[in-house]
Amino acid sequence: MTFPILSLIVFIPMVAAVIMLLIPAERRNETRAVALAAATFDLLLAAWVYVQYLVNEMTGYQFVETYRWLPQLGISLKFGVDGMSAPLVLLTGIVMFTGVLISWGVDDNHHPAGIQDRPREFFAFLFILASGVFGVFASLDLFMLFFFYEIAVFPMYLLIAIWGWVKTREYAAMKLTLYLFVGSVISLVGALAMYWAAYQSTGVLSFDMLLLEKANFPLNFQVAWFLPVFFGFAVLGGIFPFHNWSPDGHVAAPTAVSMFHAGVLMKLGAFAALRVGIMLLPEGAKYWSWLVMLLAGIAVVYGAFIAFQQTDMKYMIGFSSVSHMGLVMLGLSTLNKTGLTGAGVQMFSHGVMTALFFAVTGMIYDRSHTRQIPELGGMNKIMPFASVGFIIGGLVSMGMPGFSGFIAEFPIFMGVWHVNSLLAIVASISIVLTAAYILRNIRDVFFRPMPDNLEGHITDVTVLDKIAIVTLCTFMIGIGLFPSVMVPMVQTGVENILRLLGGA
């Protein structure tokens, strides 16, 4: 029995949440300290897993732990990571860590920042959410995957409805929860169908995904169930035309939750769609890949156009997320090596990037109380640090060489080109559009003269904010300059998927 590192990663946030709830409500700084300690510890563990995987040039599923949970029905608690999920576990660690930093909150009425209203409950719910996310990325058991998936969904409602932006939070929170819940339960029925079908063909009652991968479901079964399963999860990945909840949710959510939501939760959808949809139903994936590709292509271009139209920074980033997640889906739908690798890296890259965007937007909003681009300006003078961070994020978003975005998007377009060159050309319009709206945003918000009404009211970001920005930027530049720290690893995961696709 090896050291149960993945279980630790998954359950530490949960334990921390319980501890925080037991701390009396008045002791706000202690609560925050527990949150930060747990987040740091989790990030270190996640990084350790990642580095181990990388240094030892591992392939396949590693760090596997199995606990029998309900043997009568073949449910077990089985954790393990492969080249696809290890970066995502790391990503969750990063976002969790930075999310805690920027919502630290200062109990000072003159310069409110972060979370002041009931921080204890806020961090507790946020950590339960994080636990669920880690659980999904690490689960190798279909039942447990659903279990953690739902755990990751429901705290969102409370986090948005309680701490969100007053104007739209109730509406957005309910919309988001219902969308995601519809998606997940529909996938759940599909998963149960797979479970019984596998039982009929193999005679083993098990939710273990490694066994289900070998089940060889009949073709018509795969074709029929791929759509509900894939799209049920892809709702959370923001696939067109089910993306509608996402920008509303981003806008209404408090900063750290937006970071989690766009940075990690949407990856959760894409990842689960890949794990359950494509890997367990490979023939179905082949049959329907044209549809996924078409919808993803629409999302890429349409999301970019809508983002271009927005004047609210958060809406702009929200739709840009739809566009970028469209690229992930596009990469998945190619079902070839370059495309899938690109999708894997894009998940990580977009997660870090969008977390940074939302963090900086939150910092600006906390100080200026507006996110309307026309009403902002001159931020570069006051918060040069945040401004540099935002520009780096912008360059990643545009796919500039030297940043992680390039490493991710270039292979995706290459992969799409192999399958459908016309679509690749159309989708690449989004790069131009992205450059346009990002650069316009940078010009207006950071470099234009500051409007008079804001003059003198804006202060620089705090030290904790700076740490968060540096952390996020380090990863984006690091991967851009040294793709070898991530690409080969993702490729090992891709090899496995291709084996399933080819072997079926």
Partner 1 sequence: MLFIFAAAMTTLFMMDVEKLGRRGESYLLLLASTLGMNLMASASDLVMLYLAIETTSIPLYVLSGFMVDDEKSTESGFKYLLFGAMTSAVMLYGFSLLFGFTGTTNLYEIAAAIAGAQVSTVTALGVITLILVGLGFKVSLVPFHFWAPDTYEGAPTPVAGFLSTASKAAGFAVLVRLFFIAFAKNGLSPDWTTGLAVLATLTMTLGNLVAMTQTNIKRLLAYSSIAHAGYAMIGVVAFSDLGATSVIFYLIAYILTNLAAFGIVAVFSRVSGSDRIADYAGLSRRSPWLAMAMLVAFLSLAGMPPFGGFVAKVFVFAAAVKADMIWLAFVGVINSILGVYYYLTVLKVVYLYRMEGEAEESHPIPLTRPYGIALVVLSLGVLLIGTLFAPWFGASGAAALNLF
User: Residue 71, interface with partner 1 (CB under 8 A)?
Assistant: yes
Instruction: Closer to partner 1 by CB, 146 or 357: give it.
Output: 146
Our CB check for partner 1 shows the closer of 51 and 70 to be 70
CB burial readout 72-87, b (16+ within 10 A) else e = eebbbbbbbbbbbbbb
Q: How far is the CB of 498 from partner 1 (least distance, A)?
A: 30
Instruction: Tell me the chain's radius of gyration from C-alpha atoms.
Output: 21
Judged by CB under 8 A, the residue of 186, 211, 481, 485 near partner 1 is 186
Q: Is the peptide bond before 483 cis (omega within 30 degrees of 0)?
A: no
Question: Which of 150, 366, 375, 495 lies at the binding interface for partner 1 (CB under 8 A)?
Answer: 150
The nearest distance, CB 157 to partner 1, in angstroms, is: 6
Left if phi > 0, otherwise alpha if psi is -120 to 50, otherwise beta: which for 420? beta
Q: How many CA atoms lie within 13 A of 464 on its CB side?
A: 17
Of 146, 231, 358, 403, the residue at the interface with partner 1 (CB under 8 A) is 146
From 169-177, 259-267, 277-285, 291-299, span contacting partner 1 (CB under 8 A): 169-177
One of 29, 66, 171, 196 touching partner 1 (CB under 8 A): 196
Q: Any bridge partners for residue 274, and if so which? A: none
- Cα separation of 365 and 331, whole Å? 34
Q: Is 15 in the site for partner 1 (CB under 8 A)?
A: no
| Among 41, 48, 69, 385, interactor with partner 1 by CB under 8 A | 69
106 within 8 A of 454, measured Cβ to Cβ: no
Q: Where are the alpha helices (DSSP H) in 335-462?
A: 337-368, 379-382, 384-398, 404-419, 421-442
Q: Smallest gap, in angstroms, from Cβ of residue 351 to partner 1?
A: 24
CB of 272 vs partner 1, minimal distance in Å:
15
Quick one: which of 189, 204, 219, 463 contacts partner 1 (CB under 8 A)? 189
DSSP letters along 463-485, please? HHHHHHHHHHHHHHHHHHH-GGG
What part of residues 20-59 is at the interface with partner 1 (CB under 8 A)? 21, 25
Give the helix ranges, DSSP H, for 23-77. Answer: 28-55
Which of these ranges, 149-157, 322-330, 417-425, 495-503, lies near partner 1 under the rule CB under 8 A?
A: 149-157
Contact between 72 and partner 1 by CB under 8 A: the answer reads yes
Query: For partner 1, which stretch binds (CB under 8 A), given 143-151, 244-252, 419-427, 458-466?
Result: 143-151
Q: Which of residues 429-488 bind partner 1 (CB under 8 A)?
A: none
Q: What share of the chain is helix, strand, coil (3-state, %, to 5)?
A: 75, 5, 20
Among 11, 41, 48, 154, binds partner 1 (CB under 8 A): 154
**CA–CA dist 17, 35 (Å, integer):** 8
Rounded CA-CA distance 408/352 in Å is 13
From 45-53, 158-166, 245-253, 338-346, give the range in contact with partner 1 by CB under 8 A.
158-166
- Reduced to 3 states, what is the DSSP secondary structure of residue 167? coil
Stretch that binds partner 1, among 183-191, 337-345, 416-424, 442-450 (CB under 8 A): 183-191
* Nearest distance in Å: CB 149, partner 1: 9
As measured in angstroms, the least distance from the Cβ of 220 to partner 1 is: 14
Q: Decide: 135 and 13 in contact? Cβ < 8 Å.
A: no
Residue 161 CB, nearest approach to partner 1 (Å): 5
- DSSP H or E stretch at residue 79: strand 75-81
Q: How far apart are CA 271 and CA 292, in angstroms?
A: 15
Taking each continuous run of H as one helix and of E as one strand, the counts in the chain are: 21, 2
- Nearest CB to partner 1, comparing residues 73 and 422: 73
Write the binding mask 103 to 142 for partner 1: x where contact by CB under 8 A, - elsewhere: ------------------x---------------------
DSSP 229-297: HHHHHHTTTT-TTS-THHHHHHHHS-HHHHHHIIIIIHHHHHHHIIIIIIHH-HHHHHHHHHHHHHHHH
Min separation Cβ 14 and partner 1, Å: 9
Of 121 and 465, which CB lies nearer to partner 1 in the complex structure?
Answer: 121
Contact residues for partner 1, defined by CB under 8 A = 21, 25, 68-73, 121, 143, 146-148, 150-151, 153-154, 157-158, 161-162, 170, 174, 177-178, 181-182, 185-186, 188-189, 192-193, 195-196
